[in-house]
Amino acid sequence: MLLLIYAGCNRWVEKDAWAMLMRSPNDSMFCRSACFIYWTPEQLKCRSVTGVLSNKYRSLGQTQAKPAMTAEKLNALKGLHSFSIVEEKAFKDLVEHLAPGRKTLTRRMLTDRLDACFEDMKQKLPLEFINVDHVAVSADLWSSFHRSFIGIVALWLDPSTLERKTAALAFRRVIGHATYDKLAEVLSSVFAEYGIQGKVTSVVTDNGSNFVKAFRVFGESETNETDDESEMRPADLTGILNTPDGSECVLPPHIRCAAHTLNLVATSDSAAAELDAQYSRVAKSVFKKCSALWSKQGQSNISADLIKSHCGVYLRRPVPTRWNSLHDAMEHLLKLHNEGKDIERLFCILKLPVLHRPAEYKFMEEYCSVMKPLSCALDVLQRQEHMFIGYLLPTLAVLEKRIKYEAMKGLSYCGPLASAVLDGIEKSSMRDQATMNVRTELAAVTQPARADVAASSAPEDFFSFGLQTLPAETQDELSRYLLVPGDYPLRRMPRQLAIRAREAAYNRNT
């Protein structure tokens, strides 16, 4: 005898009762959409109803089509696993269970296919760039195991859907010193390889001196491109005379990473607050005691277990390479204190200097309240999706407004910190870069015949649009654009809008 599991209400129904159930006028319509699974009583002894219902089932006698197992679904490269995973027994058993009869690749076959995929990508990308007019590039340089590497990523918006697309253009080893001329040569060669020399709108990098100098020497002239070594220096005539003919390259405009710049504001520029004697005294005491606690957790397993048993969780520790980590660690420690955890007792157990009440806890509260907006701004600017350079100015405006609001509430200790952060934001070139891009793009839309005004305006009028009256067609264009709701997808706007055409060129990474 076969049994049926009635998935509609989890009832057990004998096969002989099937016809009677289907003839029932009340249940017939529901049964047409119900699902029945066939199992013998012996099979059901070791299976629960829930387990059976989770398997593939038959609907009214017709087997549901099982999706085909393709090589794309078994692609081991998508998860960034090591090549050796295909030779592990557990992986082979998994593939055999999911796709019986299939055999896994060997490690050598996998690496060969990887090379083939890479060559195929290099051939397809230039073809895709043919239909793209504007490409933004992000470049990064790092060192690992005494070796230097450079990574270059392209970002663009699809002209028809305005969907952001990314592609890794290069991941190369930099032999020797990563000098500015060597970086310029690598960037120029990559642009030429993919045929995007005249399409790159900007290159986003960190604030490293080698990148900054590369774009200052080989890049297009930018009014906002400054560095810490802006004073006059003698030219290296020997290097200029020894430069081979034809080796000069011209790089696109340079944009410093706004997130990295904000991180420098939080670390370097905020150090100016230590010039205030009161702030410096309390800050050094608090950071020294907290650093000792964080170090104890990282250096000793016994101390880490004591912290876990006392607080219920491990403490968050600052990491030099992770932005916001100092604020997050301080905020976590303050949160444990506010939740009633006896932090003083924890310091005593670990034989560390205790935080003094109420001054040092008050300092921690003020420090977190001042640095919280900066931490949130960094999180916004580091988003992977829905982040464009158009978000930079509003983010900076909100950041400054919130820090000023905290300062207006009256800070007992961290007033100098708020002033130092605001001064750091003011001195940075982020606002200048964002404002310059906004003006350039708006000039192309609103005043096409006067797009060269920015180049001829006086410095004090650089960010002023003047009092000129816009043409009627331009007013109509802007009016139609401003009437569109804020949550309306831009890709669904009429294709004749000039603003929509500028979207692909303007909205790029920060």
CA distance 347 to 369: 24
Residues in the chain, total: 510
Q: Is the dihedral of CA 447, 452, 455, 461 positive or negative?
A: negative
Per-residue pLDDT of 66-115, as tens digits, reads: 566 555 555 656 666 778 888 888 888 888 888 788 777 888 888 888 88
The type of residue at 288 is K
Nearest to 209 by CA among 192, 229, 185: 229
Q: How many CB atoms lie within 10 A of CB 412?
A: 13
What percentage of the chain reaches a pLDDT higher than 70? 63
Phi, psi of 11 (to 5 degrees): -100, 150
Nearest to 346 by CA among 368, 314, 299: 314
Q: How many CB atoms lie within 10 A of CB 317?
A: 18
In sequence order, which residues have a C-beta less than 8 Å from that of residue 26 and are 6 or more positions away? none
CA distance 360 to 346: 16
Residue 249 to residues 77, 244, 313, Cα–Cα distance (Å): 36, 12, 54
Q: What is the mean pLDDT of the chain?
A: 72
Residue 296 or residue 447, greater confidence: 296
Reported pTM: 0.64
Contact 349, 302 (CB under 8 A): no
Residue 387 or residue 461, greater confidence: 387
In 3-state terms the chain splits into helix, strand, coil percentages (rounded to 5) of 55, 10, 35
For 143, the enclosing helix (H) or strand (E) is strand 135-144
At residue 392, does pLDDT exceed 90?
A: no
Nearest to 508 by CA among 130, 194, 188, 137: 137
Contact 279, 360 (CB under 8 A): no
Contact 154, 187 (CB under 8 A): no
Q: Tell me 85's DSSP state.
A: G
Residue 482 to residues 175, 177, 446, 485, Cα–Cα distance (Å): 52, 51, 13, 8
CA distance 288 to 476: 61
Per-residue pLDDT of 173-207, as tens digits, reads: 988 888 888 999 999 999 999 988 888 988 988 88
CA distance 150 to 173: 6
Q: How many CB atoms lie within 10 A of CB 178?
A: 19
Per-residue pLDDT of 253-267, as tens digits, reads: 888 888 888 888 888
At residue 144, does pLDDT exceed 80?
A: yes
